A and B are shown apart, each in its own frame.
Chain A
């Protein structure tokens, strides 16, 4: 079963507006972590924000915030005041099975292509 679901293959937003990128996940673990990455056309995956399953407050990093709804198993990314440079692919990812070692194995969704327009 797919662990990370991103249902929006593409999104458009006007410059300076806010946009929400959806992500739902599936895990039976109680301890897990959720990540968002940005991939511009250059190819490099850039870390944006992290939310731990036990974190009581929603994570924020500058213009990025994570709307974490644990009961609904959703971890949506909110980008405020969109900029042209925000145009990129955005990936939601999860690390479960946290208590075992052996590397931080992330499972990724299929991504959302965001286009910021003037």
Chain B
């Protein structure tokens, strides 16, 4: 069982659909993240949850709605997306410790295509 698991691996949706991406971490971490990876662009941080509270919303459109019901699970709810939202969505987790930066552990991502 990998440390960070994302489902589904691939998702194709229409612009009017509603879908959700799921992330689960088995590492006992207390912080979780959503990143967006588009072709030829740096990874973009979307949301950060630390101790189950959202601490960062990086100017993400409201058609993306995160949910963190507990420290092990993170969701990204999608509705009325645009074709430019097609990308690889990566989930990550870490142990949030202000004594110093901790590495992020990533899942394999969900490849999203919006038609």
Beta-carbon contact of B105 and A103 below 8 Å: no
The interface size of chain A toward B, counting residues with CB under 8 Å, comes to 30
Docked CA distance A95–B100 (Å): 9
In the complex, which residue of chain A has the Cβ closest to the Cβ of B32? A103
Docked CA distance A37–B109 (Å): 15
Beta-carbon contact of A102 and B55 below 8 Å: yes
Beta-carbon contact of A101 and B98 below 8 Å: yes
Please tell me if A81 contacts chain B, counting CB pairs below 8 Å.
Answer: no
Shortest distance between the CB of A89 and any CB in chain B (Å): 10
Please tell me if B76 contacts chain A, counting CB pairs below 8 Å.
Answer: no
B50: A residues at CB distance < 8 A? 101-103
Interface, chain A (partner B; CB < 8 A): 4, 32-33, 35, 37, 42-47, 50, 52, 91, 93, 95, 98-111
In the complex, the 8 A-B pairs of residues with the closest C-beta atoms, listed nearest first: A33-B101, A45-B106, A103-B48, A102-B55, A95-B101, A108-B43, A43-B109, A44-B108
